[in-house]
Structure 1
Amino acid sequence: MLGMVNVLELGSAGGSSRLTDSISLGVLADILPRDLIEEVLDETGRREQRSRRLPAHVMVRFCLAMCLFYDDDYEEVMRQLVGSLKDMGSWRDEWTVPSTSAITQARQRLKVDPLRVLFQRTAVPVAGRGTKGAWLGSRRLMAVDGFMLDIADTPDNVKEFGRLDEGPKASAFPQARVVTLAECGSHADIAASFGPCKTDERALLTGILGALEPDMLVIADRNLYSFELWTQALSTGADLLWRVSATVTLPVIQSLPDGSYRSLVINPKITGARRAKLIDQVRHGQTVPASAAIPVRVIEYEIPDREGNSTGELICLITSILDPSDVTATELATAYHERWESETGFREKKTYLRRSGRVLRSKSPEMVRQEIWALLLTHYAIRKLMCHAADEAGLDPDRLSFTRSLRVIRRQVTDQADFSPSKTEESDQSHHRGDP
């Protein structure tokens, strides 16, 4: 069964009877089962102490549907979730869709933690051993990178998240900076950290290092490298493949037959004569403390520019895989460009789910955080479904269209809501899309 039915208890006007409505997210319900939602609500203390017309488990589903149906206002999103009561013999003429105000208050009661914990519990690697494009030998290809999300322009959001620039060059909207750890083969994010737009991406990355595992090859762009962060990431047991900028000096310790060479990343606090002595010690086979320098292997190559005028870009990669017989320089260079799969995932969240040019609808910082976790969780659920479908068909998940998959999921949800509810109670004439 693709869709799991959830129960929403709505009190009648007199409060003496209750109406059972079906709330479902169709195929996504298999990935986020009711039992897990209830367990997380208990864990985070968000279960209701009294019966409510919009219980917490329904609002979890609503937050995900809010991301699936981004162009719809709150009341219309709720309509999309409601199954056919006539077919169930549960239709009552007095039933009404909750108002925008009631839905907003229910979102605020739910708070942030249930969506955050659900993502942390649910988001695990999904690529199997047979998933195409997901592995380099025995290592699972992962990428860390960051992106920005425009959020509603309210005083509270500006104060909490800020704008990228000040004065005339200020960004049109306040923004949140998000850093994720994504599986290259499936585009599924398995960890995320976010904060104000001016937060350093490296600071956000420290918040997701716990998701790195020994079977991973973690790829990162040059903006994320620092000696301290490399040391921390290496301590997780994962292998690393990071691009570094030209400001990082990499002495040649030993040239290798595949065109790469062994080198050191050196603690920036060690300079001058101390640095030269340390390099000399390593060249003579002596061991130095990891707090001073860490052995790496360097792969350098040039990408020609599009005009073909021989002014291409030099790519410099460092890796913790020191033995070229394990993985060659060519294989690592090819793997590095799988990092761009994370860029595809960003576009899916920012453009296809959220629609191009749209801002997050939430008008308070806490609801912004709730909405970001819901967005990440919804994208993960879609990508997991796509990966499983690709595996069953023996295809690379990249061959499947995200937009087409999204349309199918939206249609599957909408097909379950094939009736026209009566007028909404306390209908909000403004039909605003966000919370107060």
Structure 2
Amino acid sequence: MPRIGQFKQPDGDRLSDRVAIALLTRTYPPELVDRAVTESGSSGRRQRLLPPRLVVYFVLAMCLFVDKGYQEVARMLTQGLSWAGLGAEPSQVPTAAAISRARVKLGAAPLKALFEQAVKSSGVELTTDESYGRRRLLMVDDMTFDVPDSKENVMCFGSSKARGVGPSELPQVHVMALVEYATRAIVHAAAGPSANVADSMPAEDLFTALRPTDLLVADHALVHTAQWAAAVARGADLLCPVGPEVALPIGRELPDGSHLSDLADASGNHLTAGHSRVRVISYTGGRSARLERHRLITSIVDHETAPAAELAALYSDRCEAESPLRDLKTRQMGRIETLRSRTPECVEQEIWGHLLVHHAIGPLLPTAPGSRTSDEWHGRLFR
């Protein structure tokens, strides 16, 4: 019972929810959202209750309040926007069916454009101090998410049980991200059907964001030779492990213990356009008392600018890095294990929504137990 002069908020109407919405609108102000909508060509004919800007904010709120239904999210959103001074509360809340139709009409492109604008405006992709020599250090992160088993999702993503890649019978979407080493910031992402990691379609889309002087470090052998060539063709360098089944004939041995070799495709044909030359690094290490033998390949063939011991240390540190996508899945989504969307286009839209929310609230999340802070990473990797 409130005391005299106090106002008791209705059940479910919390100040923290309004502050959370305000955080999203501060990170993604209306003019930034409108520009993303316009540049993606999704402005179209405006609806009275659900204009494109509001639908973008709804997707973000939906990914922030993952345990709430559509209409409850819409109610919380409109109250939060009104509290933040970005509009009056409407006389009626749109129905769940109307919201679903508006999401389909909006598509994924505005959310993707908004993420790219947010990364660029925050200066994340221009970071220069998390580097190895003159190379910007990036790592690959990946994660699978269950999606509803609608007809459209099954046709696009398949059945994980039929593929034998997981215990879930639900279709799964595979998300891959480029992450900066020290900041843990996701700078680009791609999604596609969940499959064997090395065959994954998202990897090819992901590599289009690479630029000259990037050094991409992977914690497992995710690249096939064609993907390797595509990445190197963009001027980037790669460092990743390879299994014993990959034949890498010993070429010229180098003073640091590495040796040159040629990367071939499954038919034994060497890659063209000068992309097949690799350097092979073998070392013994491990995170436990039991040491293991590792074999890495890199496109950096000059052992003087990148000694084998330094590259082995980079790979070892990558293996110990906290996964932003795992953090998103376990701490941001909480107990929710399945995305909401029942069509592939909306699945992609929802993934961009989660990435945008992670971009906004990531700096506020506590460091996971056992993980390193940015200062610790910077001290170890870039001393």
The TM tier, using the shorter chain, reads 0.7 to 0.9
TM-score w.r.t. the length of structure 1 is: 0.69
Q: Which amino acid aligns with 1:210?
A: T
Q: Which amino acid aligns with 1:257?
A: P
C-alpha distance after superposition, 1:38-60 (max 9, x if no partner): 12222333225245112110110
Q: Quick check: 1:106 aligned with 2:115? A: no
- The corresponding residue for 1:298 is 280
Q: Indicate the SS of the match to 1:325.
A: coil
Query: Displacement, 1:142?
Result: 0.7
Give the alignment partner of residue 58 of structure 2, picking from 62, 67, 82. 62
Percent same amino acid among aligned pairs? 35
Give structure 2 stretches of 5+ with no counterpart.
1-17, 366-372, 378-383
Range with bigger deviation, 54-63 or 340-349: 340-349
Q: Indicate the SS of the match to 1:211.
A: coil
Q: What is the distance in 2 between the residues matched to 1:139 and 1:306?
A: 30
The 8 Å contact of residues 162 and 198 in structure 1, kept in 2 or not, is answered as no
- The corresponding residue for 2:11 is none
The 8 Å contact of residues 186 and 397 in structure 1, kept in 2 or not, is answered as no
Q: Which amino acid aligns with 1:296?
A: V
C-alpha distance after superposition, 1:317-349 (max 9, x if no partner): 111222232122222112113434776112112
Q: Quick check: 1:178 aligned with 2:156? A: no
Query: Displacement, 1:202?
Result: 4.1
Give the alignment partner of residue 314 of structure 1, picking from 289, 293, 301. 293
The 8 Å contact of residues 164 and 175 in structure 1, kept in 2 or not, is answered as yes
Distance verdict in 2 for CA 1:293–1:43, change over 3 Å: closer
The 8 Å contact of residues 143 and 326 in structure 2, kept in 1 or not, is answered as no
Distance verdict in 2 for CA 1:129–1:95, change over 3 Å: closer
Q: Which amino acid aligns with 2:170?
A: F
Query: Displacement, 1:236?
Result: 0.7
- The corresponding residue for 1:187 is 184
Distance verdict in 2 for CA 1:261–1:213, change over 3 Å: same
Give the alignment partner of residue 346 of structure 2, picking from 355, 361, 367. 367
- The corresponding residue for 2:6 is none
The 8 Å contact of residues 225 and 243 in structure 1, kept in 2 or not, is answered as no
Distance verdict in 2 for CA 1:206–1:304, change over 3 Å: closer
Range with bigger deviation, 146-155 or 39-48: 39-48
Q: Indicate the SS of the match to 1:46.
A: coil
Q: What is the distance in 2 between the residues matched to 1:143 and 1:57?
A: 33
Query: Displacement, 1:210?
Result: 1.7
- The corresponding residue for 1:432 is none
Q: Which amino acid aligns with 1:100?
A: A
The 8 Å contact of residues 267 and 291 in structure 1, kept in 2 or not, is answered as no
Query: Displacement, 1:380?
Result: 2.9
Q: What is the distance in 2 between the residues matched to 1:148 and 1:56?
A: 29
Range with bigger deviation, 102-111 or 135-144: 102-111
C-alpha distance after superposition, 1:92-115 (max 9, x if no partner): 8x8344343333333233222211
Query: Displacement, 1:84?
Result: 7.9
Q: What is the distance in 1 between the residues matched to 2:175 and 2:295?
A: 25
Q: CA RMSD in A?
A: 3.4
C-alpha distance after superposition, 1:189-242 (max 9, x if no partner): 222222222376443211122210112111124432322222221111112112
C-alpha distance after superposition, 1:41-91 (max 9, x if no partner): 223332252451121101101111111111222233233332485897x97
Q: Indicate the SS of the match to 2:192.
A: strand
Q: Which amino acid aligns with 2:305?
A: D
Using CA pairs below 8 Å that are at least 6 residues apart, which structure has the higher relative contact order?
1
- The corresponding residue for 1:33 is 29
How many pairs align? 347
